[in-house]
Structures are given as C-alpha cells and as structure tokens.
C-alpha cells in the first residue's frame, strides 16, 4: 500500500490547476472518507499538499476541514467512533494503519489548535517540554530561544521565561503554541483556525510568521476568513457539503483545489464561486 507507486489521481481538482510547479506533495489523501459513528464527515477526498507551501482549507462550517486536518496527524484516533477509508500518505509513507506509530508521526506533523492551549507551565517549559520528551540531546536553552525567535515572540517574553504561559495575552499564547510546535522540528504544521480567537494585530503577526516559516515548513491552515486565505496561502482547497444522503446528513467533499489566485479569481466549481462570493456559508 505504498503511496508513491501510482501517480496521484485527484478526482476533484481540475486538470488546469496542478500543484504549484516545482513543489512535490508532502501530504496526500486519496479517496478519503471519514465517519464519526454513523455520520459521515468526509467523502472521497483526494488532495496532494505541496511541500514548502501554505495551503488553505476553506469551506462552510461542518464541512470537515478540521476532520481532514486531524487525519494527517492521526489526532482523530482520539475520537470515539472515528473510522476512515481510503489512503493517507506523508512523505510517501502511509499515515494510517496499525503499523504506523502515531507518536512518531505527530512529532513530524505538528499542530496548532483553534484556541491557544499553552501548558499550565512556565513559558520555558512550554517550549522545552516537547523537545525533552522526544529525547532532544542538544542545548535546550538555545532551542527555546531559537524557537521563540522563530515564532516572533522572543522579545516579548525573554524576561518572562519563568512566568506561567497562561499569563500571556491571547495572541502571545498562540505564538507560544507555535513556538512549542517549532521546537520539535516538524516538517509540516497543521493550523486549525489559529487566528479565530485573536485580535487583528495578533492575527497579522501570526500571518507574517507563517510567511517566514514557509521556507522551512509545509503549512496547512484552516480558516473561515477568506481574506486571510487570499493573503497567506499559495494553494486553496475549498470543501463543501455534499448533497443530502438518505439520513439527511451531508458529508463534506472537496469541491476545488487550485492555486489561491486562480481559485479566488476564476473558480471552476460553481459551489466554490458561490461560497467565496458569500452566497453559501
């Protein structure tokens, strides 16, 4: 079930919108369907997330953006009743299946959550903890400083390293969470509406930060903010609710996956067009 043997055939993206040139796919989903208990959350999603790009996931509430994101680092495993079909790949290796260790995977595919959730520990320990439990043998102090610098937080907290992370402002907390993720040196950072709890200034900071991180990381960001998707992302995937099935529940499907400027200017899918012009959602 190696994923790199066959070419990636995405059903939904139009042939005119391949991933940006020169970028190989890091995360791949092929014909992915997800259920929580008996309700289907995703149906037949195929997508290839390019390396060192920012990919935005947009779409109306409940269309499975968070679900898709959580598939890539197996956080869905924690949800009772979760079940998936289809294939998931990370760097050519399978993501799902009993033979894959989610602990190893999650170190390489980091995640930033919607609500800032720093540990109730000091700023220092917030950043150092992940590295330490992963057996980091280098200089922890140096790693903490470097991670906080990369998260554009160092200047604000360098005198407060021994304060509780919960004493920071909301925007600082979210950047602390980003620093914490960077400290374990992941290859991909999944962000689930990272700015939805932040004020505009903090939002702008996080957006600048993502731009800086792009050179070294692949970023997938879920956002409800169309302007944000346009501003920060290279590629945009628009998910939609499928037509109602027998029980009236509507699973999410991938409507369109294109370079961001294409998707927002000349959407191929009428549902995408309706969504980005504000007629759905």
Ligand X SMILES: Nc1ncnc2c1ncn2[C@@H]1O[C@H](COP(=O)(O)OP(=O)(O)O)[C@@H](O)[C@H]1O
* Residues contributing to the site for ligand X (CB under 6 A): 36, 41, 59, 61-67, 79
Q: Is 150 helix (H, G, I), strand (E, B) or coil?
A: helix
Minimum distance, C-beta of residue 228 to other proteins, in the bound complex (Å):
16
In whole angstroms, give the CA distance from residue 192 to residue 195.
9
Nearer to other proteins, 106 or 250 (CB): 106
Minimum distance, C-beta of residue 103 to other proteins, in the bound complex (Å):
5
Of residues 64-93, those binding other proteins (CB under 8 A): 66, 73, 75, 78, 80
- Name the β-bridge partners of 30: 87
In contact, 23 and 52? CB cutoff 8 Å: yes
Of residues 157-216, those binding other proteins (CB under 8 A): 158-164, 166, 177, 180-181, 184, 192-193
Residue 223 contacts Mg ion per CB under 5 A: no
What are φ and ψ of residue 240, in 5° steps? -140, 160
Of residues 61-90, those binding Mg ion (CB under 5 A): 66
In whole angstroms, give the CA distance from residue 212 to residue 159.
24
DSSP-derived secondary structure for 54-97: EEEEE-STTSSHHHHHHHHTTGGGGSTTEEEEEEEEETTEE-SS
Place of tokens 């005119």: 16
Options 83-91, 100-108, 250-258, 267-275: segment touching other proteins (CB under 8 A):
100-108
Residue 43 contacts other proteins per CB under 8 A: no
Q: Which positions lie near other proteins, rule CB under 8 A?
A: 61-62, 66, 73, 75, 78, 80, 103-108, 110-111, 113-122, 124-125, 128-130, 132-134, 139-141, 144-145, 158-164, 166, 177, 180-181, 184, 192-193
């Amino acid at each position: 079930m190696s994923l790199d043997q066959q070419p990636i055939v995405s059903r939904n993206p139009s042939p005119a919108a391949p991933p940006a040139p020169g970028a190989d796919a890091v995360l791949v989903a092929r014909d992915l369907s997800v259920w929580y208990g008996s309700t289907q959350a995703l149906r037949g999603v195929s997508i290839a997330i390019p390396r060192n790009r920012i990919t935005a996931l947009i779409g109306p509430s409940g269309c499975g953006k968070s679900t898709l994101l959580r598939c890539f680092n197996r956080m869905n495993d924690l949800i009772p009743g979760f079940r998936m079909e289809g294939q998931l790949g990370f760097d050519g290796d399978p993501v799902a299946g009993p033979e894959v260790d989610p602990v190893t995977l999650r170190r390489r595919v980091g995640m930033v959550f919607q609500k800032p959730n720093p540990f109730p520990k000091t700023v220092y320990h917030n950043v150092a903890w992940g590295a330490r439990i992963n057996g980091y043998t280098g200089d922890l102090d140096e790693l903490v400083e470097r991670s906080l610098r990369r998260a554009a937080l160092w200047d604000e907290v360098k005198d407060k390293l021994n304060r509780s992370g919960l004493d920071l402002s909301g925007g600082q907390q979210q950047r602390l969470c980003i620093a914490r993720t960077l400290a374990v040196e992941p290859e991909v950072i999944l962000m689930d509406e990272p700015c939805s709890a932040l004020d505009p200034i903090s939002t702008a900071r996080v957006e600048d930060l993502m731009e800086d991180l792009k050179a070294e990381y692949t970023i997938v960001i879920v956002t409800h903010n169309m302007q944000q998707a346009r501003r920060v992302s290279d590629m945009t995937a628009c998910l939609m609710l499928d037509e109602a099935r027998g029980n009236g529940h509507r699973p999410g499907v991938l409507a369109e996956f294109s370079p961001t400027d294409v998707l927002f200017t000349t959407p191929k899918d009428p549902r995408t067009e309706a969504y980005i012009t504000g007629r759905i959602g």
